[in-house]
């Protein structure tokens, strides 16, 4: 068999070496294939221990949840089937106070009209003069409170807001300066405030006095003006008891105090009319002058 001279062993070796060199340049170094060791098989005994440990842990968690659930049921016993569902954290409903209307036969204050209501251990007499919607006239609202409990109404602003809501749904738009006024009953705490309703807005001075008879309310001047401090003090100072009214001894002693000299009496005293001397009536009619005729 005849061989070609260009396909001898040396030529094939050179071609193989050149091909290997080209592959190394293109693919980079080639790591030898080394067989990796296989993972060791887990013994059956260790697998059983792992499964048993997970089972015990799950059982412990279930037991703990059961104990917590039983304690929750003991803390919140179920309601009977007949009762309606009530949320656990719902605020309890507070029943409004039960007032009873009574005769307003204890206090008087000028031309103010009275209304009274009472409940256990508490009586309120409300005296009102004028109307809030009538801007041309003063508006007065005074509440006389008889109670055996100490004053727990909080600040004057809280008292004003509560009394304004009771007076036909008024609200406090703003408050101004605070101060005190002297009355025959003691120091009167005051604050300037703007009271509003759906249609009107008025500038008023609210007041409160803590004594044997607690006094609360406000006075509004006409035409959007604030009332004079002396007018507020004298309005409270003129509060009195109706003739024959049965009031507690401390309240009677309070109302019996002498009124301030700076406040004029509510009804001016009438004086007897002194007849004036009659004057001669002067007429503007011209007199006719008569002359004697001349003698011959």
DSSP code of 15?
Answer: H
Yes or no: say if 200 and 174 are a contact pair by the CB < 8 Å rule.
Answer: no
Q: Average pLDDT, stretch 64-88?
A: 62
Assess contact for 203 and 211: CB atoms under 8 A: no
* Number of CB atoms found within 10 A of residue 156's CB: 18
Q: Which residues contact 236 (CB under 8 A, 6 or more apart)?
A: 142, 183, 185, 188, 207, 209, 215
pLDDT digits 0-9 by tens, 210-266: 999 999 999 999 988 999 999 999 999 999 999 999 999 999 999 999 999 999 876
The rounded Cα 296 to chain-centroid distance in angstroms is: 113
Q: Name the band, by pLDDT with cuts 50, 70 and 90, for residue 76.
A: low
3-class SS of residue 48: helix
> HSE (CB half, 13 Å, CA atoms) of 143?
21
* Better-predicted residue by pLDDT, 234 or 38: 234
Question: What integer is the mean pLDDT of 41-62?
Answer: 74
The predicted structure's pLDDT at residue 271: 33
pLDDT (0 to 100) of residue 17: 73
Give the mean pLDDT of 76-86: 53
Two structure tokens written together for 144: 């006389």
Q: Give pLDDT tens digits for 97-136.
A: 688 999 999 999 999 999 999 998 899 999 999 999 999 9
Structure tokens at 199: 């249609």
């Amino acid at each position: 068999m005849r061989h070609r001279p260009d396909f001898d062993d040396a030529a094939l070796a050179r071609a193989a070496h050149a091909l290997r060199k080209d592959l190394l340049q293109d693919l980079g170094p080639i790591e030898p294939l080394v067989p990796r060791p296989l993972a060791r098989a887990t013994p059956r005994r260790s697998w059983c221990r792992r499964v048993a440990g997970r089972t015990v842990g799950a059982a412990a968690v279930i037991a703990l949840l059961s104990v917590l659930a039983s304690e929750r049921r003991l803390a919140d016993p179920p309601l009977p089937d007949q009762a309606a569902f009530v949320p656990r954290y719902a605020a309890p409903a507070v029943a409004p106070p039960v007032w009873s209307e009574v005769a307003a036969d204890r206090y008087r204050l000028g031309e103010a009209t009275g209304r009274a209501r009472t409940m256990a251990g508490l009586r309120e007499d409300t005296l009102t003069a004028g109307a809030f919607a009538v801007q041309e006239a003063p508006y007065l609202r005074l509440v006389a409170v008889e109670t055996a409990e100490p004053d727990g109404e909080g600040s004057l602003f809280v008292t004003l807001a509560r009394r304004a809501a009771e007076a036909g749904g008024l609200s406090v738009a703003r408050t101004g300066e605070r101060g005190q006024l002297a009355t025959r009953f003691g120091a009167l705490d005051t604050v300037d405030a703007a009271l509003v309703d759906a249609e009107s807005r008025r500038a008023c001075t609210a007041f409160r006095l803590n004594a044997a008879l607690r006094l609360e309310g406000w006075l509004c001047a006409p035409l959007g003006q604030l009332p004079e401090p002396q007018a507020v003090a004298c309005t409270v100072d003129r509060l009195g008891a109706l003739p024959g009214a049965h009031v507690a001894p401390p309240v009677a002693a309070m109302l019996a105090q002498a009124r301030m000299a700076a406040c004029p009496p509510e009804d001016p005293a009438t004086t007897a009319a002194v007849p004036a001397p009659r004057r001669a009536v002067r007429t503007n009619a011209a007199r006719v002058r008569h002359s004697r005729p001349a003698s011959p």
